[in-house]
């Protein structure tokens, strides 16, 4: 059992007899509990004490010498279970790289002067340098190891590799943080509007149905447009406001381009907060997604042969 405690609760624990020993044991227990090998070794030791060497060797493949070595570790560790955790097998004395200091300094100077100079180009200049100095050269892979080992990376952190005047760079500067919604809204009053659009293709012709619904009141409007643009979304917004019996307090939408541009500017002008859902999270748009499914099943699909110019009047009669 691992005991969780904090410095604030320690005065309470200090009155319990033997608690200091338990507290010192906690780190050892945590280390032991995180090692499957240490747990297996303790299981073998207990099995050995209960059944003897012959059965233990047959069951686990370990003999008395191995068990004795593990028990000695426990004894030296004063019974600490973490002493059974395998230690690192890395040699105490490892082989040190034998690259000449002249070569390392040459690579450093080349990288410092031309910080994007790669290993293959450095190899060409290094071979020439080694011939002049009458010293053996090194391979391309060794050059890479020298660069990584000595951290020969002199690239300036503030250096930019794109055109600051490009459209992408300007958009990044203008890009503003969007107001995000994490969960499906549960407003207590009217005025929280949720919008979305549905695409329909008839005889190769695309049409779009833009819809909006009041999450609380369930007042909804759907209009048909030939194109899905921010201008058409703005037109839909004005038409919705003209028919809506209350005041629009919040407008929630997805991240489509039709919800940006002139439409977003119109919402800011009217002082209406524009909330965006997270990408690929339609579950946040629960109410409008359910409404879209209903209007597709009950109106759009049964009226695929409707005359395009009369769609709006038909859908208004349906709603």
CA distances to 178, 194, 212, 270, 274 from 233, rounded to whole Å, are 18, 13, 11, 15, 13
Model pLDDT, residue 318: 66
User: Rounded to whole angstroms, how far apart are CA atoms 152 and 116?
Assistant: 10
What architecture is the 179-318 domain classified under in CATH? 2-Layer Sandwich (3.30)
- Round the average pLDDT of the chain to a whole number and report it: 83
The H or E element spanning position 196 is strand 192-202
DSSP codes of every residue in 238-302: HHHHHH-SS---EEEE-S-GGGSHHHHHHHHHHT--EEEEPTT-GGGGHHHHHHHHHHIIIIIGG
pLDDT over threshold 70, residue 40? yes
User: Rounded to whole angstroms, how far apart are CA atoms 192 and 185?
Assistant: 8
Residue 180's DSSP bridge partners are 276
User: Rounded to whole angstroms, how far apart are CA atoms 21 and 150?
Assistant: 45
Rg (alpha carbons) of the chain, rounded to whole number: 36
pLDDT over threshold 90, residue 172? no
Model pLDDT, residue 306: 64
User: Rounded to whole angstroms, how far apart are CA atoms 243 and 216?
Assistant: 16
pLDDT over threshold 90, residue 29? no
pLDDT in tens, 245-296: 999 999 999 999 999 999 999 999 999 999 999 999 999 999 999 999 999 9
DSSP codes of every residue in 114-177: STT--HHHHHHHHHHHHHHHT-----HHHHHHHHHHHT-----TT---S-TTSHHHHHHHH---
Q: What is the mean pLDDT of residues 82-102?
A: 82
pTM of the entire predicted model = 0.48
CA atoms within 13 A on the CB side of 265: 5
Model pLDDT, residue 147: 93
pLDDT in tens, 189-222: 999 999 999 998 887 888 899 999 999 999 999 9
Select the more confidently predicted residue: 66 or 220: 220
pLDDT over threshold 50, residue 2? no
């Amino acid at each position: 059992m691992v005991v969780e405690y904090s410095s604030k609760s320690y005065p309470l624990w200090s009155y319990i007899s033997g608690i200091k020993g338990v507290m010192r044991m906690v780190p050892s227990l945590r280390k032991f509990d995180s090692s499957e090998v240490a747990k297996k070794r303790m299981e073998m030791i207990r099995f050995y004490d209960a059944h003897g060497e012959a059965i233990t060797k047959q069951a686990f493949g370990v003999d008395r010498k191995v068990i004795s070595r593990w028990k000695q570790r426990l004894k030296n560790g004063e019974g600490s279970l973490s002493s059974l955790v395998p230690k690192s097998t890395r040699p105490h004395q490892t082989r040190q790289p034998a690259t000449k200091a002249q070569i390392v300094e040459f690579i450093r100077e080349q990288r410092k002067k031309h910080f994007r100079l790669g290993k293959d180009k450095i190899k060409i200049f290094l071979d020439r340098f080694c011939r002049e100095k009458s010293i053996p050269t090194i391979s391309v892979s060794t050059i890479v190891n020298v660069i990584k080992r000595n951290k020969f990376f002199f690239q300036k952190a503030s250096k930019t590799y794109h055109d600051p005047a490009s459209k992408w760079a300007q958009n990044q500067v203008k890009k503003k943080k969007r107001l995000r919604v994490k969960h499906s809204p549960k407003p207590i009053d009217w005025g929280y509007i949720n919008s979305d659009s549905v695409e329909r293709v008839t005889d190769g012709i695309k049409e779009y149905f833009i819809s909006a619904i009041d999450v609380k009141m369930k007042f909804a409007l759907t209009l048909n447009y030939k194109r899905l643009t921010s201008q058409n979304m703005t037109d839909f917004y004005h038409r919705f406001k003209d028919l809506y019996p209350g005041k629009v307090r919040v407008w929630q939408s997805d991240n489509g381009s039709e919800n940006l541009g002139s439409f977003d500017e119109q919402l800011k002008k009217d002082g209406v907060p524009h909330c965006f859902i997270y990408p690929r999270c339609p579950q946040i748009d629960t109410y409008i997604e359910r409404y879209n499914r209903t209007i597709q099943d009950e109106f759009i699909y049964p009226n695929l042969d409707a005359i395009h110019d009369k769609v709006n009047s038909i859908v208004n009669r349906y709603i």
